[in-house]
Amino acid sequence: MAASGRKTGRIFILLAILLIVITAGAYLWFRMQQQKAATPPAESVPPAVSYETVAIVISSQSISRGSVITSDKVTTIDYPKDKIVEGTTFFNNVEDVVGKRAKYDLDPQVPLTASLILDTAGSIPSFQIPPGMAAIPIPVTKLSTVSFATQPGDHVMVVACLNIVDIDQQFQTLLPNYTAAITAPGFVEGMPQQLSLGIAAGGAASQQGRVELDANLNEAVYVVPSEAQRPRIVCQTVVQDAIVLRLGDFPLAEEVVATPAPENAQQENAEPTPAPATPDNLTLVVSPQDVVLLNYLIEANIKMTVALRSAGDTQTISTDAVTIQFVLDQKNIPLPVKLPYGILPSADVLAPAAEGTPQ
């Protein structure tokens, strides 16, 4: 019995030692896993790659369309040679672009290519005219140009009003014609023989009239005009869509920035800055045919009015010519009936309201 008890005790001791070893091993394995999870993976360092670069010219500041490129507006940077698209021609030296003009508005950091630069000289406004178009100025006033609201780039329409009159087709003069008394050559008793034809015109007092039958007297009477011929007004759109290039005169030279005066300078004798001149012309970009049309209207002293269109609206506009008959018909204005009574005082012209008087 004693030997059996000792044998059982040794088994329990071996099992306890084995359990301790297994527990210690499990603890060590668990700790190693925690340390692996806490340790960040080593960053992979990409292999160093060497690029072959080439110097290219870029804009160092904004360059407006048509302006001359100067050395302070451009610079050079190193650009990967393998990133250059085949067929693209970059400038490599600043001297290659200095003195040339920008074909478009350029933002800073734009690589300059041959398609963005112009070698030809010319005025800056000429670069703002699309191909196939032309520019022409027209005379304007405050009321004929939307109170000077039009600015470069706006789209406008031009309306012309004509005074139509009747003229003698052969004389090409305003009707009615003047009449004249004719003395035929011949022999008069007691007077020398007349060898020439005599014509005496009565001038404005002898305007040609017409014969009408008077309903009261039942007699023919000769009727002459009481005043000069009244022109008939007609207005119509002559240019549907034009682009404003400039309101007023173009500068004759580059604008010079005035040097500011010192703060301690005396301002008592300083002359006041003159007010800007009121513009009297508006330069429009139109088709070549409309250039000829507008030139004819200017030479014919035809009144033109510019109407401002909505921003971005370039659709074709169709309008009807307006005459007095159009106004009466379209706006439903009746002809006043001739009544046996009227109002006093009579007014032949509608006068505007007096200044300060509400209308």
Percent over 70 (pLDDT), the chain: 80
Residues 6+ apart with CB under 8 A from 295: 136
Q: Is the pLDDT of residue 258 over 50?
A: no
Minimal CA–CA distance to 298: which of 272, 273, 280? 280
Give strand ranges (E) for the chain.
53-59, 74-80, 101-102, 117-118, 134-139, 155-164, 180-183, 198-201, 210-214, 219-223, 232-247, 281-286, 303-308
104 vs 189, higher pLDDT: 104
The per-residue pLDDT for 346 is 81
Mean pLDDT of the chain: 82
Q: What is the pLDDT, as a whole number, of residue 251?
A: 83
Q: Given a cut of 60, is residue 284 above it in pLDDT?
A: yes
How many angstroms separate the CA atoms of 30 and 356, rounded? Answer: 99
User: pLDDT band at 34, cuts 50/70/90?
Assistant: confident
C-alpha pair distances (Å), 217 with each of 50, 211, 222, 272 = 116, 14, 13, 76
DSSP output for 240-289:
EEEEEEEESPPPSSPPPPPPPPPTTS--TTPPPPPPPPPP-EEEEEE-HH
pLDDT tops 80 at residue 308: yes
Is the pLDDT at 259 greater than 50, yes or no?
Answer: no
Q: How far is CA 282 from CA 144, 227, 304, in A?
A: 10, 37, 11
**pLDDT tens figures, 194-252:** 556 566 777 777 888 899 998 888 899 988 888 889 999 999 999 999 999 999 998 87
d(CA 165, CA 21): 126
pLDDT at 257 over 50: no
Tell whether pTM > 0.85.
no
Residues 143-178 pLDDT 10s = 999 999 999 999 999 999 999 999 999 999 999 998
Residue with tokens 């297994």: 22
Using CA atoms, how far apart are residues 236 and 234, in angstroms rounded to an integer? 7
Query: What percent of the chain has a predicted confidence (pLDDT) above 90?
Result: 38
Cα radius of gyration (the chain): 47
pLDDT tens-digit map of 98-146: 888 888 889 998 998 888 888 766 677 888 888 899 999 999 999 999 9
**244 compared with 40, residue with greater pLDDT:** 244
pLDDT at position 104: 80
Answer for the pair 286, 131: CB distance below 8 angstroms, yes or no.
Answer: no
Is the distance from CB of 60 to CB of 73 less than 8 angstroms?
yes
pLDDT confidence of residue 39: 62
> Token pair for residue 231?
């022109």
